[in-house]
Structure 1
C-alpha cells in the first residue's frame, strides 16, 4: 500500500465522534449483531476516508536510510492505524478485546469477518427477517427504531435486494404501537410521500408532542375507530350493567327471604287470614275443617270447579 506523505487530519482519539457511535453497537461474543457492527464500522470509515486501514495490510517499516518524508508518512500511518484499532477494541465485548489486543486494525477486521461473516444469501435472509420482524417496544424511542430499520434496508440494497420505498414506509408505520395511530392515519389519509429521514423527523416530533401533552391520543383514536367498526352504540354497555345489577339485587333479596324463613312472620300473616267458606279467621278455605268435610260429603265442589255446587247429598 502506498504511504501518503500528507498527515491525516482525522482524529479518532478519545473524543472522536466515531467512538461515540461505536459505543451504541458493541460486538457480542457470539457475533449475533455482526451485521450492525460491520455496517457502523464501514460507514464511519468511509466518512473519515480511512477504509484502507481496515482492508489493506500495514506498510513495511522504512529502513535507516529512508528519507524524512517517508519516515513521517510511515509514522502517521502507524498513529492512525493505532487510533482505528483503539476504536475497534472499544466497540467489542471484553472477551473479544482480549483476543485482539495484539493485532493491528486490518488484522482485527479480517479476524472478525472470518469468525462471524456469512454468505450473501444468509446475510440477506437475516437482514430481511430483522426488518420485517422489527417492532417498537414499550419504552423505546421512535427515532433510533426508524434508523435501525433503514439500516436493514441499506444492507439488503447492498446485497442486491431492493425493496420498494412505499413498502418500506408501510412497514415502518406498521411497526409502531397504537399510540402512533393518529400519525399513521394522518400520513395515509393525506397521501404523504416523505423520505426515510423526513419520516424519522416527523415521528420524533410527534413523540415529543405526545410526551409534552402527557396523553396518548393514538390509543383513544384507535378505540373510537374500533367501536365504530363494530357498531357499538354509546350507553348500551352501561344499561346492560344496570340491568344485571338490579337483577342480582332482586335475586339476592329473594334468596334471603327463603333462606331466613322467619316463623314469626309466617305466624302473624296466618292469624290475619280469613276463610271464605266458614267466614272464620286464622285459616284459609283450603285448610278449613268445615270445607274439607263438606267436600267429602259432596255438598260443595272443589276449588276452581265452575259447575253449580250441590246443597244436599243425593
Structure 2
C-alpha cells in the first residue's frame, strides 16, 4: 500500500521530469543553431548528472570476462546513453532525427561538432570580417548602407552570436565618411541609447540636412550675357 510520502516523492519526480522536458524543448536543432541547442542539452544533462555520456564513448564489453563493477558501469552507461540519445533526437527536426537515429550521444555530438560548430565558426569569421571592413561608398544613400550593415548583424544573431548593439553602432560610425563626424560627436554627447533601426532614422535626418546645406552653399551661376560684339558682324557688300 502506498503512503503519503511515496505519493509526494512520485509527485516531485514527475514535476522534475516535466521541468526538464520544458528545458529540453526550448530549442529545436535545425542545423543553424547548434551552439544554442547543445548548450541547452548540456545544461539539462548536467542537472541529472548525465553529461558524461556526451564526453565518454560507450565501448561494448564482454560480460563473461568482466567484473561485476565493470558490468554495472557499462549497463548504467548504456541506459543513460539510450535516454540521452532519445532526448537529443527528440529536439531535432525530422530530417536530422532520421540521420542520427542510430547514433550514440558521444558519436552524435562529435559528428555535430565537426559539421555544424566548425561551419558556424567559419561563417562567423566571414561575417565579422565583412562587417569590420565595410565602408560607406561615395554617393551611397545612408539608408541603403545601414540596411547592409543590419543584415550582417542579423546573420550573426542567426548563428547564435550575441553581438552587442552598441558595438555594432560603433562599427557603423567608424565606417561612415568624414562628413558625418559632427553627427557622431553630437550622438556621443547626448548619451542616449539607440538601436540600429532608430539610428537609421537619425542618420537619414542628418543626410537630408547635409544635402540642404550643400544646395544652400552652392553659388547661383550668373547667366552669360551674350554681347552683340561677340558675334561676327555681317559685312556683306552691295
TM-score by length of 2: 0.44
- Pair member with larger Rg: 1
Hey, which of these two has a bigger chunk of helix by percent? 2
Relative contact order: is structure 1 or structure 2 higher (C-alpha 8 Å, sep ≥ 6)?
Answer: 2
